[in-house]
Amino acid sequence: PEEMNRRLIDSVADVCFAPTETNRQNLLREGVPAESIFVTGNTAIDALKALIETRPLAPHVQGAPLEMPYLLVTAHRRENHGRPLQNICCALLEILALFDGIHAYYPLHPNPAVVDTVKPILGNHPRVHLLPPLGYSEFVTLLRFCRFALSDSGGVQEEACYLGKPVLVLREKTERPELIQVGNGVLVGAETGKIVAEARQLLEDEDMYRARAVSHTVFGDGNSSVRIAAVLAERLRE
């Protein structure tokens, strides 16, 4: 429904603010006039930058220190319900079996389709920390201090890219191809073997890890709101 809503709104909007050049090209292909499109970056990165700059983030969540090092896991998309999510959980168990010093934090979406799959597989593992849904600052804390993330979330892909955190994207495709292009992300789907293989590389090969753990501003540099406000102010003066 989000994509349908976007297309409907874009078709009647006077101005479209595209986070990236790829998004601008997509709008052009949909018939949006070039003079109505402005590449500004994503305001989500503005919020992330503001949080980091104004609130010191210590490695604590829900009042407890984080067990380091750790992986951050988020998986809740409908396309991963059922067998794919089981495969993701089994991949995590294999990773933890291979690296006995690694922990995993998994904020669980309240959807029963997620909870009823994840808890029976991961609920009793001593190094898996299943958490309730977190507030924004606590989640950013988890993302900022993790070794890398395994996620099917689009927002996590953007935030991790800005923070310089590698992401194993638990999908067959992504609406954020820029993440793959700059090297922060790898598409692994819900294939257990592929997830484990990519995780092993990030945990064993320090040179590869450093090459992929680089901050990029492809989704925004924290000044998107300023650019949007400037365009709107100019339009209002016309």
**In a shared domain, residues 201 and 93:** yes
Residue 1: predicted pLDDT: 66
Tell me how far apart the terminal alpha carbons of the chain are, to the nearest angstrom.
Answer: 34
Q: Which domain holds residue 106?
A: 64-212
**In a shared domain, residues 97 and 191:** yes
pTM: 0.93
**In a shared domain, residues 89 and 72:** yes
**In a shared domain, residues 42 and 115:** no
**In a shared domain, residues 127 and 20:** no
**In a shared domain, residues 195 and 227:** no
User: How many beta carbons lie within 10 A of that of residue 221, not counting itself?
Assistant: 15
pLDDT higher than threshold 90 for residue 28: yes
Q: What is the 3-state secondary structure (H, E, C) of 73-130?
A: EECCCHHHCCHHHHHHHHHHHHHHHHCCCCEEEEECCCCHHHHHHHHHHHCCCCCEEE
pLDDT higher than threshold 70 for residue 201: yes
pLDDT over 90 for what percent of the chain? 88
**In a shared domain, residues 76 and 105:** yes
Name the domain count of the chain: 2
Contacts of 48 (CB under 8 A, 6+ apart): 140, 159, 162, 163, 222
**In a shared domain, residues 80 and 113:** yes
Alpha-carbon gap, residue 99 to 147, rounded angstroms:
13
Taking CA atoms, 150 is separated from 11, 14, 126, 167, in Å, by: 35, 38, 19, 6
How confident is the prediction for the chain on average, in pLDDT?
95
**In a shared domain, residues 74 and 172:** yes
pLDDT higher than threshold 90 for residue 62: no
Residue 6: predicted pLDDT: 86
Alpha-carbon gap, residue 25 to 11, rounded angstroms:
15
**In a shared domain, residues 180 and 200:** yes
